[in-house]
Amino acid sequence: MVERIVVTGGAGMLGSTLIERLLDEGRQVHCVDLRAPRTEHAHLTHTVSDVRDTVTMKRATADADVVVHCAAALPSYPADTIRSVIVGGTEAVLTAAEANAVPRVVHISSTAVYGLPKVVPTPEEYPREPVDTYSAAKAEAEEVAERFRGREMCVPILRPKTFLGPGRMGLFAMLFEWAEEGRNFPVLGRGDVRIQMFDVADLVDAVVTAMEAPAERADDTFNLGATEFGTIREDFQAVLDAAGHGKRVRSLPAKPALATLSLLQRSGLSPVYGRLLHKLLDDSFVSTEKARDVLGFRPVHSNQDAILRTFAWWREQRRTAGARPTKKSEGVTSVEPWRQGALSLAKVLF
């Protein structure tokens, strides 16, 4: 069993969930993040640092058996920061790991590298066709990771769909808030597109699988996503049903709504970025057979499992917070609710 693991982005939603799993298994873990980890444990150490700092990363990865590179920047960040963190950070992490002869680095990428693919389910062989700064940075970071393959290092590249679960906020907090307040929730068009998601517990399972699989199998690129998923209308309606107010998903005329949201996004008044807007208009799911056949990985949770687990966690967090004063969210990480901007004013219509 792999004993000492370095997790970059370890204070984030994926990183912290992975660290909890590794600690439960009795492994030694070192977290690297701009923030200290959210938990304390005898087997957990940490470095508060930017992953772009190669010198610090060399110290952090010394004696590591595996590095799991989760650190990234969100699509809402400034364009220069996105590329610097995602591409520069990946270069620094892999350079440091190679200098320390770390045998394996698991690189967390994204299906965003496909851009807006015209083929579904999208296979790993589909070309990288980024359409914005974030997807371009993710695609370039994969190119960096691929350069290190074959240089005495195994580099599994994992491409998960949007993942969620306990700890996830981001844009999902808007759906949860509207549902809890007893409001209907809008979708573009009929909402009959199939949008594949992924439970963070399954993603952690996939990471551990990639950490431990034989190098000749793991040294490849793998799509990851739920194998059971319906339409976005069905998934959102499941949240409204769980809220218990009898509210419904409501359709908005797609073209006018898209034009309005695009204008708000360009004006900085909405967090819903362009690629996401267009993704909600067409089916979006990837082929996961390769991970199943090569790694033996099979997800446990469906889309609805994942979104309802996240909603249940969100409600519990809201309940236990009670009247305690809370720090105003900056909306810059996936563990914070993103600012709704002008969209918060639309609630009166639903």
Query: Measured between alpha carbons, how far is 127 from 220 in angstroms, rounded to an integer?
Result: 15
Of 43 and 170, the structure prediction assigns the larger pLDDT to: 43
CATH architecture of 172-195+228-285+303-349: Alpha-Beta Complex (3.90)
Whole-prediction pTM value? 0.89
pLDDT of residue 186: 87
Q: Is the pLDDT of residue 345 over 50?
A: no
Q: What is the SS3 assignment for 5?
A: strand
Three-state SS for 179?
A: helix
- The backbone region for 26, taken as left when phi is positive above 0, alpha when psi lies in -120 to 50, beta otherwise, is left
Domain boundaries, the chain: 4-165+197-224, 172-195+228-285+303-349
pLDDT confidence of residue 342? 44
pLDDT, the chain, mean? 88
Lowest pLDDT segment from 74-83, 241-250, 334-343? 334-343
Transcribe 246-276 into DSSP letters.
---EEEE-HHHHHHHHHHHHHTTS----HHH
Of 122, 128, 94, the residue nearest 108 (C-alpha):
94
Tell how strand 185-188 and strand 66-69 pair up: unpaired
Q: Does position 286 have pLDDT exceeding 50, yes or no? A: yes
Question: What pLDDT, in 10s, does the model give residues 89-98?
Answer: 999 999 999 9
Domain 4-165+197-224 has CATH 3.40.50.300: no
> What is the pLDDT, as a whole number, of residue 168?
77
d(CA 147, CA 348): 52
pLDDT digits over 218-260, tens only? 999 999 999 999 999 999 999 999 999 999 999 987 666 666 6
Percentage of the residues of the chain whose pLDDT score is greater than 90: 73
pLDDT over 90 (residue 146): yes
Q: Give me the pLDDT at residue 350, please.
A: 56
- Residue 207: which pLDDT band, with cuts at 50, 70 and 90? very high
